[in-house]
Amino acid sequence: METNSPDGSSGKDFYEIPFACNPEKGDTIDQYRIEKRLGEGAFGSVFKVADQRNGQIKALKLLNLFKIPYEEERKGILQRFRMEYDTGKIASEYLVHSWDFGKTCGNPYIVMDFCAGGDIRAVIGKNTPYETVRRWAHEVLMGLNDLHSNGKVHRDLKPDNVLLTTDQRARLTDFGISGHKSMRMTRRNIFNKPTEIFGTIAYMPPEQLNPTDMHVTVLPTIDIFAFGTMFYEVFSGHFPFGSLETDADLANYNRNVKEGRIIDIKKYNCRLPSEWDTIFNKSLQPSYKNRFQSTNEILSLLGKPVENRNISFNFYTHTLSLLIMQGEEYGRPYHLSDLCNDEEGVIKIGRADPDARNIVEIKEETTTYISRQHSTIEKTSGNSPGYYILDGQWNNAMRQWKPSLNGTFINAEKLNTGERRMLCPDDIITIGDVTLKVVKNDSRRRNNLNADY
């Protein structure tokens, strides 16, 4: 059940002091009877459960919040856990679907699809038929495409987080750090056993390990690197940059990653079609700018691109809104027609700061990636009416245009200084560690924007 606080607010933000909780087979959590413990980490467990209302088999992921010592850390993890549930509500046949959210003894849980086939980690090195692995690759790419088109990035893609259904269809799961914050390794050290950390690092591109580049880890290119690593491993049984078992291996591996020294997969598997050489070489580039910029580029190489979205838009009959898809104010809408100054038609966007005088103030308290004067949206009319976005703002004191520190990205493409890009429905704007989706709404849907999205 989705829990609510005593004042009626969403369980998304409701915190209560957690108590020790260690359910076993035969116990019930609300209406869910535990059938089997599927897995366990330092601060969480996953169970196979039966819904006693209808007998359906599901998976229940319980976060042992009581094991986390500090209240503020608990609250942040609770927020991320709730966002994992929300991400699982995206309508996609390639994602593990979320069904329920609740709490037991103050510890939150998510009820989701049960995937009886386990994860693809178990089939690495098992000589799985090529066409089966190729289909898994397509399904993983489609799942990533559905995440990215909704302003979310997985950021922990690895074989353990690709589950298989009874009929061996691949589904993405574990969205706990999707598009979230800068302390990636802290989160992993909390939730993973120490022996798992090296394995997790194998799927991380250079920017995810470099604190100065954390602002670009909210781009799809981070998942593309992990995709390349994962399917290199599935096809070969090895990592693309060498062995990764000891501290010495780790230093050598990271050096090879930064230098782009990929081991030719033909050393391990000489029967792969040639398109996979291209996929691995371009997915695993050390610079995110040199990788594939979207999953659709890889899907095209595999012969199954996603159809282009229809971006036709009548400025006069619809209005646009920005909806926060990742960030501390997840789900908050900004209606552009309400925010535009009637005289200037300008919306200034930036970090919340009283001296910046931004119309859209982005709340992001855990990073400094968002500039005080980060972006500008202009409303135009005439022959080409619409809303246009630019990186940076006009600085009156300096009497010049001032670009943002870390850039403004539209659909993962960084805007050049002075470039004006027209906003269209479904565009994804990335500002620092926050993503916003451009959504189309008319007067009939205006009051239900949050419900619709």
Residue 267: HSE in the Cβ half-sphere, 13 Å Cα cutoff: 12
Q: Rounded to whole angstroms, how far apart are CA atoms 242 and 202?
A: 10
User: Within this chain, do residues 162 and 99 fall inside the same structural domain, yes or no?
Assistant: no
Q: Decide: helix, strand or coil at residue 265.
A: helix
pLDDT tens-digit series, residues 249-265: 898 999 999 999 999 99
User: Within this chain, do residues 234 and 124 fall inside the same structural domain, yes or no?
Assistant: yes
User: Within this chain, do residues 103 and 145 fall inside the same structural domain, yes or no?
Assistant: no
State the CATH number of the domain containing residue 383: 2.60.200.20
CB-based contacts of 440, cutoff 8 Å, min separation 6: 313, 318, 319, 320, 425
Task: Strand 333-335: give its sheet, edge to edge.
Answer: 333-335, 319-326, 434-441, 428-431, 408-410, 413-414
How confident is the model at residue 200, as a pLDDT?
80
Does the residue 400 lie in any domain?
yes
Does the residue 283 lie in any domain?
yes
State the CATH number of the domain containing residue 293: 1.10.510.10
How confident is the model at residue 41, as a pLDDT?
74
User: Within this chain, do residues 383 and 413 fall inside the same structural domain, yes or no?
Assistant: yes
CB-based contacts of 88, cutoff 8 Å, min separation 6: 95, 96, 97, 98, 110, 112, 173, 175
Task: Strand 360-362: give its sheet, edge to edge.
Answer: 360-362, 346-351, 375-380, 386-391, 421-422
- CB of 60 closer than 8 Å to CB of 32: yes
Given 92, 113, 134, the domain boundary residue is 113
For the chain (length 453 residues), average pLDDT per consecutive 10? 40 73 94 94 88 97 90 84 91 96 95 96 90 97 95 92 96 72 39 50 87 72 96 96 88 93 94 95 96 96 75 60 88 88 80 86 84 93 84 89 94 92 93 91 46 40
Given 88, 113, 138, the domain boundary residue is 113
Concatenated DSSP letters for 353-419? -TTT--SEEE---S---S-TT-EEEEEE-TTS-EEEEEESEEETTTTEEE--SS-EEETTEEPPTT-
How confident is the model at residue 211, as a pLDDT?
63
User: Within this chain, do residues 380 and 442 fall inside the same structural domain, yes or no?
Assistant: yes
State the CATH number of the domain containing residue 109: 3.30.200.20
**Residue range of the domain that includes 441:** 319-452
Number of domains in the chain: 3
Q: Rounded to whole angstroms, how far apart are CA atoms 305 and 298?
A: 8
How confident is the model at residue 46, as a pLDDT?
95
Q: Which helix (H) or strand (E) holds 236?
A: helix 221-236
Of the candidates 283, 287, 285, the one whose C-alpha atom is nearest the C-alpha of residue 213 is 287
User: Within this chain, do residues 431 and 371 fall inside the same structural domain, yes or no?
Assistant: yes
CB-based contacts of 140, cutoff 8 Å, min separation 6: 94, 157, 162, 170, 172, 227, 230, 231
User: Within this chain, do residues 281 and 134 fall inside the same structural domain, yes or no?
Assistant: yes
Does the residue 152 lie in any domain?
yes
Of the candidates 219, 249, 228, 110, the one whose C-alpha atom is nearest the C-alpha of residue 174 is 110
Say if pTM beats, i.e. exceeds, 0.75: yes
